[in-house]
Amino acid sequence: MSSVIDLLKSHRSIRKFTDKAIDPEILNDIFLAGQAAATSSFLQGSTIIRVTNERTRETLAELAGNQPYVRSAAEFMVFCADLKRAGNYCREYDKPFEGDYTEHFIIATVDVALMAQSLVTAAESVGLGICYIGGIRNNPIDVSKLLKLPMGVYPVFGLCLGYPDQNPEIKPRLPLSVIVKNEVYNEDSDQEKIREYDETIREYYRNRTGGGHGISWTEQVATLLSEKSRPHMKQFLEAQGFKFK
């Protein structure tokens, strides 16, 4: 089996880090690995804001839902979808800027996700741990002001990076047959397999919480999709120049 495949299959989120700093050369190589990810239409629509100032980190930790690892990780960065950089050159070539189309928003957002995951894989390959921070979108206006994000740029998620100070169990994923379909979308045998998976997830959570809640996957996602989720995002994105034409 490929060592890369083994690495990808062993991914865990890390929320406790040692105080060991990351060597600048290693960090630079990790950034280059992330930058090498695929980018639609060669837009390169990603910008990383590396945050080292302690007070800024403290504020971001609070804005993201009081997540302490935002402060404690060796590195914290915010990944942004960026249409401004490329859009700067429309005027130079006497072209109208049409970056507020939904497709351009999708391209930039996918670019960010691809870049981040390549960076994460590179980081984990040298013994680092990571934790994505979607809580950055809890207060996107305040985050954008803090990081001085201009129109055409929005914060997609944060990323904690550092040397792990814990060894958590790998969280089981859905059965592959539920995810990978042949030819067409069908759910013929999904329900039975998902119910079995629910039991696996209950046991995983019981172990992780020391005999705690033991919630199933179906209950967890049903709750997620039945509640309003960051309803402020549409208005925020429109204010940042993403009009969804």
The pLDDT mean for the chain works out to 95
Name, in order, each residue with C-beta under 8 angstroms of 52's C-beta and a sequence gap of 6 or more.
Answer: 75
Tokens, residue 152: 């055409």
CA distance 162 to 160: 7
The CATH number assigned to the domain with range 3-168+228-239 reads 3.40.109.10
Given 3-state DSSP classes, what are the helix, strand and coil percentages for the chain, each rounded to the nearest 5? 50, 15, 40
**What is the DSSP pairing of strand 129-133 with strand 153-162?**
antiparallel
**What is the DSSP pairing of strand 153-162 with strand 75-82?**
antiparallel
Closest CA to 198 of 215, 210, 216, 211: 216
**What is the DSSP pairing of strand 46-51 with strand 75-82?**
antiparallel
Domain boundaries, the chain: 3-168+228-239, 176-214
Q: How confident is the model at residue 16 (pLDDT cuts 50, 70, 90)?
A: very high
Mean pLDDT of the 100-116 span: 96
Determine the pLDDT at residue 211. 60
Stated pTM of the model: 0.94
The torsion angles phi and psi of 217, rounded to 5 degrees, stand at -65, -45
How does pLDDT run across 53-103, given as a tens digit for each residue? 999 999 999 999 999 999 999 999 999 999 999 999 998 999 999 888 999
Determine the pLDDT at residue 212. 63
How does pLDDT run across 194-225, given as a tens digit for each residue? 999 999 999 999 887 666 678 999 999 999 99
Q: How confident is the model at residue 24 (pLDDT cuts 50, 70, 90)?
A: very high
